[in-house]
Structure 1
Amino acid sequence: MITFSEEIRIAAPPEEVFGLSLDVDAHTRSMADSGERAVGGVLTGRMGPGDTVTWQARHFGVPLRMTSRISECREPAYFVDEQLRGPFRLWRHEHRFTPYDDGGTLLRDEITFAAPLGPLGRLAELAVLRWYMPKLIRQRNEFLKAEAEGPDGC
């Protein structure tokens, strides 16, 4: 099992960053490099408590599907998405939105995941996934920052 966190400061209010983080269309744009798209559940717009989405993507040339659910939600401070079905034995992603006095937001992601397949999965975690998954989260967060701080954002 691997646990990691990522933080980024965004010059936009927590309510805006929170909403953008739950937006299926924004997520799809942020993961364009892997061709990620929603193919089940909520297909477009903002997700909410209890909503599910099935993502289809290609990583390392392998097509993958993952269905996740918004299992906890306290707007605009916190939400959790967890895998229901997919490539991981375990996937839990906590999103935390802390306001700054200047009106900005500290976005903190806390992720815990485990690969399937016992010892082979552990090898994949150590060899590839422990650096690849944080890279994907950083890519997504940089996209959210650019969207929120861009000409149409704050």
Structure 2
Amino acid sequence: MPRFILRTQINTPIEVCFDLARSIDLHLDTMKHTGETAIAGVTSGLIGLDETVTWKARHFGIMMTLTSKITECSSPLIFTDEMVTGPSKMMKHRHLFEQKQGYTLMTDEFVYQSPWGILGKLADALFLRKYMQNLIKHRNEVIRQKAESTTYPSHENPGTTLKKKD
């Protein structure tokens, strides 16, 4: 089963990163190149525990539909989405957040199992694993850019705002 871990440093408070990563609207922005739309379940705003979203997108020239459910959510430290129905045998994506000195470390743990037996394993080795990594890297970069380019209320000092220093 292919598995990978990606880490992204974001110069914004943990709560902001957690909410941006759960944002259906931001996810749609990160996947414009696939024509992705949210067609059922939570289709805008923030998704939470036990909620589902059904996505429709074009990958490898094929229109695909995938429904995922948030199976774990502990703000602002972790949430997990798992495929309920879709093109893979199994897909699980854990999103972990750690507040470090002056930044948030966002960690993605992604595991999936391709269909089609040996042909699926060959596709994983040849291109699918790298394709999935690149999708999540792109998504994380958009999250980082959005998080670092916006002013947010300070959670430590109410009444003040935080913004990335230029």
Query: TM (normalized to structure 1)?
Result: 0.96
Query: Corresponding residue for 2:140?
Result: 141
Alignment of 1:16-27 (within 5 A): 16-27=16-27
In 1: Cα distance, 2:88 partner to 2:127 partner: 14
Structure 2 residue identity aligned to 1:129: L
- 1:95 counterpart SS class: strand
In 1: Cα distance, 2:65 partner to 2:151 partner: 32
C-alpha deviation, 1:119, in angstroms: 1.1
Query: Corresponding residue for 1:128?
Result: 127
Aligned residues: 153
Which one has more relative contact order, counting CA pairs under 8 Å at least 6 apart?
Answer: 1
In 2: Cα distance, 1:2 partner to 1:19 partner: 27
Runs of 4 or more above 3 Å deviation: 151-154
C-alpha deviation, 1:29, in angstroms: 0.3
For 1:91-122, what per-residue CA distance to the aligned partner results, in whole angstroms no more than 9, with x for missing partners? 000000000121x2000000001111111111
- 2:123 counterpart SS class: helix
**11-20 or 122-131, which deviates more:** 122-131
The structure whose Rg is larger is 2
Alignment of 1:66-145 (within 5 A): 66-102=66-102, 104-145=103-144
- Are residues 64 and 152 of structure 1, via their aligned partners in 2, closer, same or farther at CA, if it must alter by over 3 Å? farther
Structure 1 residue identity aligned to 2:149: G
Query: Corresponding residue for 2:33?
Result: 33
In 2: Cα distance, 1:128 partner to 1:65 partner: 20
Identity %: 40
Structure 2: state its 5+ residue gaps.
Answer: 153-162
RMSD: 0.9
